[in-house]
Each structure stands twice: as structure tokens, then as C-alpha cells.
Structure 1
Amino acid sequence: MTAMERQDLQDLLVRIDERVKAIQEAIREINDTRQCAGNREKIRFLERLVWGSLAGTAALGGRLIFEALR
């Protein structure tokens, strides 16, 4: 492979990388504009439900351990 071919391949890879980044940015913009406020609220509610459940389970486990050691 000659130096010229390597340079051509390097240039091609750079252009492909730039195109991929542009496509990723376009997809990100589309996803940002298509978000629904209702879905965002549902996700927040589910996150709170999960974290609340984990906190309750941890508290119950801590109390059981405390009672067992007492």
C-alpha cells in the first residue's frame, strides 16, 4: 500500500466519521423534539416507584438485621 493510498483511506475514514457524527446529531435532535410530556411524567412516576420500593426494602432489611442482632 502506497503512501497515497493510505492518505486516501485516511481521508475517506475521516469523511465517514464526520457523516456518522452528523447522523447521530440529527437522530439526537429528532429524539429531543419527539419527546412527549405525558411519557416523561410516566417515566418519572415509575422511577419514583422503583426508588421508593428499593428504599423500603432496604429499610425493612436493615430493621430485620437490627432485630436479629438485638
Structure 2
Amino acid sequence: MTALEREDLQDLLVRIDERVKAIQEDIRDINESRRCAGNQVKIRSLERVVWGCMATVAVLGARVLFEVVQ
């Protein structure tokens, strides 16, 4: 893996992290505003997106570490 690829991966990780934080804020706002069945579906969907992004970040982080160790 070249330095440019590592930099691109790090930039991607930063963007994903920022997106996850924004989604978490959206979830927090929804939770604070009101509770109803429609919002519970939205929250569940947003939580799935957040967990998917976190899994992606973990995999990319592991890959970067693996490449660095090699």
C-alpha cells in the first residue's frame, strides 16, 4: 500500500467518522423531540446505519494497521 493510498484511506475514515457523528446527533435530536412509532422506525434505521458505518471504520482501520505491520 502506497503512502497515497494510506492517505486516501485515512481521509475516508475521517469522513465516515464525521458522518457517524452527524447521524448520532440526528438520533439524539429525534429522541429528545418526541417519541412515537414512526420515530422508532427512523431511529432503528439510523442505528443500523451507524453500526454499519462503525463496522466499516473498524474494518478499514484493521486493514490499515495490517498494511502498516506488513
Using structure 2 for the length normalisation, give the TM-score. Answer: 0.49
